[in-house]
Amino acid sequence: MKQITKYQNFKVLVLGLAKSGYSAAKLLHELGALVTVNDGKPFEENPEAQDLLTLGVKVITGSHPIELLDEDFSLMVKNPGIPYDNPLVARAIELEIPVITEVELAYEVAECPMIGITGTNGKTTTTTMIAQLLNADRNQGIARLAGNIGFPASSVAQEAARDDVMVTELSSFQLMGIVDLKPTIAVITNIYEAHLDYHGSREDYLQAKWRIQENMTATDYLVINFNQPELVELALHTKAQVIPFSTEKIVPTGSYLKDGQLYFQDELIMPAEKLGVPGQHNIENALAAIAVAKLSQVSNEAIQTTLTNFTGVPHRTQFVGEIAGRKFFNDSKATNILATEMALGGFDNTQLILLAGGLDRGNDFDELIPSLEGIKALIVFGETASKLALAGQEAGIETIIETEDVETAVPLAFRESAKGDTILLSPANASWDQYPNFEVRGDRFIQAVKNLN
């Protein structure tokens, strides 16, 4: 870690804890800053705040008093999930107090280069693929996962040595709070409409994502999805070297799919069918990862072996196992219709049993109907069970069963299946009607599969 002095006796307000705020507060304290932490969770239920207090950090919990900003702070480090219209954040901006996110701190102290990955879908899978590829053919240092993938970047940056590389998943929320952050390689997996409640408009969301490249120079590389005309147009407006990837056309300067084979700059890498994870979306993820690997001098042999053995990320079209000739996949992270559509694109519907359902946000599922056509059976649960059943009827699915939850859905799906079938949990809904988060929902699915034995 670089021993920087800019934060010595600097008054900093860390707004919001969780993993990233806790990590940022500890780092700033170590760098000599005068840190105040403000978190909405009551102190007695807040182990992070309790620990910071023992270190001598000033802690204010349970509410967000606007009077805090009377203390003449020089910087606010905001938890990415807190919107900019939060009264404390809005007031800080009025007072011209810089507002950053924790990834900016990580970049300031990191001794090693950073690879940054953003996009609407596929970030976590692509980030994980890249880290595994870079570690597969590495003589010195480690490719370290960081960022929105679950490892606070400011913690990873403190541990990383000069020969390492931080493979960092970056959300639009995090990117809105950067100043100097500059990846040596940046990846944009795709852009779809998302998080409009936070950003206000698609244009603002897109601009937040585009910030990943704003400090890049001609010595850096931007790996970007050329399936999307919007991104092709944006690629004309960066100083970085553009490395396109596409499943729809040959892009000689990048990575692409041609006749079922994956290429990089006209060099054959491997057959697409050898990928360890199914689906057109995972071919896109693999092409992006291959581009990064080739730019990083990873051998073709290492790429082939790594991507063939890649079985996915937990809760993202994760292969769980096979029982009596039935394959089980956990895609609990599919918390919206688009994610489920993409997952369904990787399977033969005639041998597929889909488990779906969850929190009712008031929408219907008409746009999912084309992807449901031909499915062997649909098992639905949660608040949206009846809506999904209706969509299934419109799609012509003959076997539709409503049940209580994921745990009861698994044995029902097994009962309806035959040897050679696939049973897929891809809910198309958030989990909060029945489970604390999508991870718990996915874990319950995995346990229910194990209980079939």
Find the mean pLDDT for residues 164-184. 97
Q: Report the range of poorest mean pLDDT among 33-37, 274-278, 304-308.
A: 274-278
* Percent with pLDDT over 90 in the chain: 90
Kindly compute the dihedral angle of the four CA atoms of residues 307, 311, 316, 320, in this order, to the nearest 10 degrees: 170
C-alpha distances (whole Å) from 260 to each of 243, 292, 341 are 21, 20, 21
Residues 109 and 240 in one domain: yes
pLDDT for the residue 33: 97
Residues 107 and 94 in one domain: no
Query: How many domains in the chain?
Result: 3
Question: What CATH number is given to the structural domain containing 338?
Answer: 3.90.190.20
pLDDT for the residue 197: 77
Q: Report the range of poorest mean pLDDT among 18-22, 111-115, 413-417.
A: 18-22
Q: Which has more confidence, 182 or 202? A: 182
Q: Across all residues in the chain, what is the average pLDDT? A: 95
Residues 6+ apart with CB under 8 A from 130: 115, 117, 143, 167, 187, 288, 289, 292, 293
pLDDT band at 312 (very low <50, low <70, confident <90, very high): confident
Distance CA 245, CA 259 (A): 15
Find the mean pLDDT for residues 175-201. 91
Residues 375 and 259 in one domain: no
Q: Does residue 6 fall inside a structural domain?
A: no
pLDDT for the residue 359: 95
Residues 337 and 444 in one domain: yes
18: number of Cβ within 10 Å:
14
Q: How many CA atoms lie within 13 A of 322 on its CB side?
A: 8
pLDDT band at 106 (very low <50, low <70, confident <90, very high): very high
Residues 361 and 247 in one domain: no
Residues 45 and 177 in one domain: no
Range of the domain at 264: 103-309
Residues 412 and 401 in one domain: yes
Residues 6+ apart with CB under 8 A from 194: 120, 205, 336
pLDDT for the residue 14: 98
Q: Are 335 and 430 in contact (CB under 8 A)?
A: yes
Find the mean pLDDT for residues 165-191. 97
Q: Does residue 280 fall inside a structural domain?
A: yes
pLDDT for the residue 90: 96
Residues 193 and 294 in one domain: yes
Given a cut of 80, is residue 15 above it in pLDDT?
yes
Q: Are 342 and 285 in contact (CB under 8 A)?
A: no
Q: Report the range of poorest mean pLDDT among 128-132, 197-201, 279-283, 403-407.
A: 197-201
Q: Are 337 and 368 in contact (CB under 8 A)?
A: yes
DSSP 8-state class, residue 236: G
What tokens were used for 305? 């072996």
pLDDT band at 32 (very low <50, low <70, confident <90, very high): very high
Question: What CATH number is given to the structural domain containing 191?
Answer: 3.40.1190.10
Q: Are 221 and 185 in contact (CB under 8 A)?
A: yes
pLDDT for the residue 3: 87
Domain boundary among 309, 326, 361: 309
Residues 170 and 295 in one domain: yes
Given a cut of 80, is residue 342 above it in pLDDT?
yes
Q: Does residue 3 fall inside a structural domain?
A: no
Would you mind telling me the total number of residues written for the chain in this entry? 453
Residues 413 and 290 in one domain: no
Alpha carbon 74 to chain centroid distance? 31
What angle, 0 to 180 degrees and rounded to 10, lies between the N-to-C axes of helices 438-450 and 406-416? 40
Distance CA 402, CA 380 (A): 5
Residues 6+ apart with CB under 8 A from 245: 223, 224, 225, 226, 251, 254, 255, 256, 284, 287, 288, 290, 291
Find the mean pLDDT for residues 155-179. 97
Burial of 60 (0-12, 13-18, 19+ CB in 10 A): middle
Given a cut of 90, is residue 199 above it in pLDDT?
no
Q: Are 329 and 317 in contact (CB under 8 A)?
A: yes
**Across the beta sheet with 221-225, what order do the strands follow?**
143-147, 165-169, 114-118, 185-188, 221-225, 241-246, 255-258, 261-264, 267-271
pLDDT for the residue 196: 74
Find the mean pLDDT for residues 16-34. 95
Domain boundary among 49, 84, 100: 100
Residues 286 and 381 in one domain: no
If DSSP codes are grouped into helix, strand and coil, which group holds residue 224?
A: strand
Residues 30 and 154 in one domain: no
pLDDT for the residue 433: 96
Domain boundary among 36, 71, 100: 100
Find the mean pLDDT for residues 120-128. 93
Q: Does residue 2 fall inside a structural domain?
A: no
Q: Does residue 76 fall inside a structural domain?
A: yes
Q: Does residue 156 fall inside a structural domain?
A: yes
Given a cut of 80, is residue 206 above it in pLDDT?
yes
Question: What CATH number is given to the structural domain containing 45?
Answer: 3.40.50.720
Given a cut of 90, is residue 447 above it in pLDDT?
yes
pLDDT tens digits, one per residue of 252-282? 999 999 999 999 999 999 999 999 998 889 9
72: number of Cβ within 10 Å:
8
Burial of 8 (0-12, 13-18, 19+ CB in 10 A): exposed
pLDDT for the residue 209: 97
pLDDT for the residue 331: 95
Given a cut of 80, is residue 373 above it in pLDDT?
yes
